[in-house]
Chains A and B, each alone.
Chain A
Amino acid sequence: AAGVIQSPRHLIKEKRETATLKCYPIPRHDTVYWYQQGPGQDPQFLISFYEKMQSDKGSIPDRFSAQQFSDYHSELNMSSLELGDSALYFCASSKGREPFNQPQHFGDGTRLSIL
């Protein structure tokens, strides 16, 4: 079965640079979530989109922005990168309609390293 696709898998940037992470949800999934997992930490929710509209916001820095496009893929844009942004970034997708208990399915993540 098709899964959530994230690109790139690995990304190396320097401080103050920008980065764009992409997420392609499972076909027919209309909801996308972004999570950040720092070294030795548990995944933390950043932001989510349902039908191309922001639906929830977590601990996402103001330097980060995201959007969901008409084909439901999503991009996480990160600017003025800091050393502390080094982390795994996961995207998950689900169907946002009934039944509302449908689980989220995660991609393999993008490992972002800031030098």
Chain B
Amino acid sequence: DAKTTQPPSMDCAEGRAANLPCNHSTISGNEYVYWYRQIHSQGPQYIIHGLKNNETNEMASLIITEDRKSSTLILPHATLRDTAVYYCIVRVLYSGGSNYKLTFGKGTLLTVNP
């Protein structure tokens, strides 16, 4: 799976949009971008995923650049409960053996301040 690079930490004011960047310059054409977050010692929570088009759900938006070498996760109105480590993970779409493990990198610690 392609490696990803994320800033180690970011701050955001409550009520403002949080924009979390991720670089995945070696991504292959059959690899998806997934975002998870982990609130202190809880299980990682799935947020959103995409291939090449921008995606939006009730939690967030995912913007993927045209060359797919980077992406941005957007939390439109951050709350204190959004404070967590955010992981950007690139995973192959189909490998034939159902080995779809997630490889977690260091992630970004997002701190939402009142």
Contact = CB atoms under 8 A, between A and B. Distances in A.
Interface of A: 4, 31, 33, 35, 42-45, 48, 50, 55-56, 58, 88, 90, 92, 94, 96, 100-101, 103-109, 111
Given A90-B44, A106-B44, A107-B43, A48 B99 contact: yes
Interface size class of B (residues with CB under 8 A): 20 to 34
Q: Which 9 A-B pairs have the closest CB atoms?
A: A56-B99, A106-B43, A50-B98, A45-B101, A55-B98, A42-B104, A103-B46, A100-B94, A43-B104
B102 interface: yes
| Max chain B Cβ within 10 angstroms of own Cβ: one of A4, A42, A58, A90 | A42
Interface in B76-98: 87, 93-94, 97-98
Given A101-B32, A105-B46, A106-B46, 16 more contacts: A33-B102, A42-B87, A42-B106, A43-B44, A44-B104, A56-B99, A58-B101, A88-B41, A90-B44, A92-B43, A94-B100, A103-B34, A104-B102, A106-B44, A107-B43, A109-B42
